[in-house]
Each structure stands twice: as C-alpha cells, then as structure tokens.
C-alpha cells in the first residue's frame, strides 16, 4: 500500500493481513480522496467495500481501465494488473520512449512498451521458484535461499545451486536486453521486483533500478482515470 499527494509518494508499507483495524491504523492520519486496487489473485469482495466506506472513489485496475497506451496483448483479460501498472509507471518515467520493464519477483516478467503500445512480454520462473523446483523435483538437492555471496564455479552443492540459479537468471536477462536492443535501438531498461537488487548489479549494461514503479504506475493510472 502507498499514499500519494499528487505525484509524490508520502508513505508506503506492506502488511500480511488486510482488516478494518489494520486499514484504520494506517490511514487515520490522512484524508484519502480516491484509491486504486491492484491484485493478481482472486480478491475478496470485502476489500473494495472496506475501502469504499471512507474513500469516495475506489477503482480496481483491469485491462479495461483507461490507460495512456494501447494494450496489444492478444488476451488482455489474462494480463496481470501488476504488469499494466509497471508499464504505466515506466510510461510516466520515460514518456515517448521505448522501454523494457524487467520485474524480478515470484515470476520474472520481461515486458515491452513502445511509445504508445504495450507489446507484450515473456514470463519465466523467478529466483525462489527455481530454488524450490530444484529441491522439490530432485531426490537430494537441498532447498537454497538467495544470497549474493557465492563463487563461480560453485565449490560445494549449495554454491553450485546458488551460482546456477542466479547466474542463469542474469545471463537470461542480459540476453533479453541484448536481443530487444537490436530491434529497438535507444531502449530504456527498468528493473523492479523483490529480487531486483540481487540481479541489478550483475546486468551488463546501465539500467534504471525502480523498486516502486508499480506503485507509481498505479498512482498514474488513478489520476488518469480521474480526469
């Protein structure tokens, strides 16, 4: 959750639960005029209702929301609203530019925005998902957690898994950037997501680290729909 005053983020916070009490404690200091909801999971109906009690205008982001760019995805109804929000944040950051948005979270998404059109993207397993898959689908490999401290080649099984996963993700992203740059010269590259810190320093070209791009995109879409 984040609270904005115009384009400025006033505060942001994370919570594992969403209740009347939690919401009241977080919002008690602010007069909220409008809100936007973005969820990649099935959302309980009480959440919009809960927000609507004290907030005059509540918008739930979907592919049918008013956007400053066209969505050229063949199945827009299956496009995650977080990807739409990240594209909107990138659009606001680099208006009129071609942008590659790399979101390294539970899954890794590589999305392309060209001036006025969301062209689509690719989805692959995220870092933690790869660690869990190696542990779950093999007989003896341990469950490893992300760390930046490892050698290549790995000198033991833990390091071998760590290097294999993190280097594999890095090589994958570097090649995506190289491939897209060939087709779209002058491309801006934005990196976000929970695992973005691990990979940003390993990317072989200059990128923009934007951890709040989804929240900023949501604010942009909210203002855009309020016009």
The pLDDT tens digits of the residues spanning 121-154 come to 999 999 999 999 999 999 999 999 998 889 999 9
The pLDDT tens digits of the residues spanning 182-211 come to 999 999 999 999 999 999 999 999 999 999
- pLDDT band at residue 82 using 50, 70 and 90 as cut-offs: very high
Domain boundary assignment for the chain: 67-128+160-226
Q: What's residue 74's pLDDT?
A: 94
Check pLDDT > 90 for residue 176. yes
d(CA 11, CA 181): 35
CATH number 3.50.50.60 is the correct assignment for the domain at 67-128+160-226: no
What does each C-alpha distance from 168 to 60, 102, 109 come to in angstroms?
Answer: 36, 15, 15
Check pLDDT > 90 for residue 167. yes
- pLDDT band at residue 19 using 50, 70 and 90 as cut-offs: confident
The whole-model pTM stands at: 0.91
Q: What's residue 106's pLDDT?
A: 93
Is 111 a catalytic site residue?
no
Find the catalytic residue in 33, 82, 103, 195.
82
Contact (Cβ atoms closer than 8 angstroms) between residue 135 and residue 142:
yes
The pLDDT tens digits of the residues spanning 97-116 come to 999 999 999 999 999 999 88
Q: What's residue 50's pLDDT?
A: 80
């Amino acid at each position: 959750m984040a609270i904005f005053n115009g384009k400025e983020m006033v505060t942001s916070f994370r919570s594992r639960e969403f209740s009347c009490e939690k919401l009241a404690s977080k919002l008690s200091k602010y007069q909220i005029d409008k809100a936007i909801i973005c969820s990649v999971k099935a959302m309980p109906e009480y959440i919009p209702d809960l927000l609507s009690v004290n907030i005059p205008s509540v918008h739930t982001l979907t592919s049918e929301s008013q956007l400053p760019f066209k969505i050229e995805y063949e199945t827009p109804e299956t496009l995650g609203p977080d990807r739409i929000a990240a594209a909107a944040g990138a659009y606001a950051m680099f208006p009129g530019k071609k942008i590659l948005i790399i979101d390294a979270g539970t899954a890794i998404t590589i999305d392309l925005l060209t001036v006025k059109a969301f062209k689509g993207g690719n989805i692959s397993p995220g870092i933690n998902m790869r660690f869990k898959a190696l542990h779950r689908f093999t007989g003896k490999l341990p469950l490893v957690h992300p760390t930046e401290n490892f050698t290549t080649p790995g000198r033991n099984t833990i390091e071998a898994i760590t290097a294999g996963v993190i280097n594999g993700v890095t090589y994958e992203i570097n090649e995506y950037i190289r491939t897209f740059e060939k087709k779209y010269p002058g491309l801006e590259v934005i990196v976000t997501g929970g695992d973005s810190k691990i990979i940003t320093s390993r990317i072989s070209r200059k990128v923009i680290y934007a951890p709040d791009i989804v929240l900023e995109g949501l604010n942009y879409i909210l203002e855009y729909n309020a016009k």
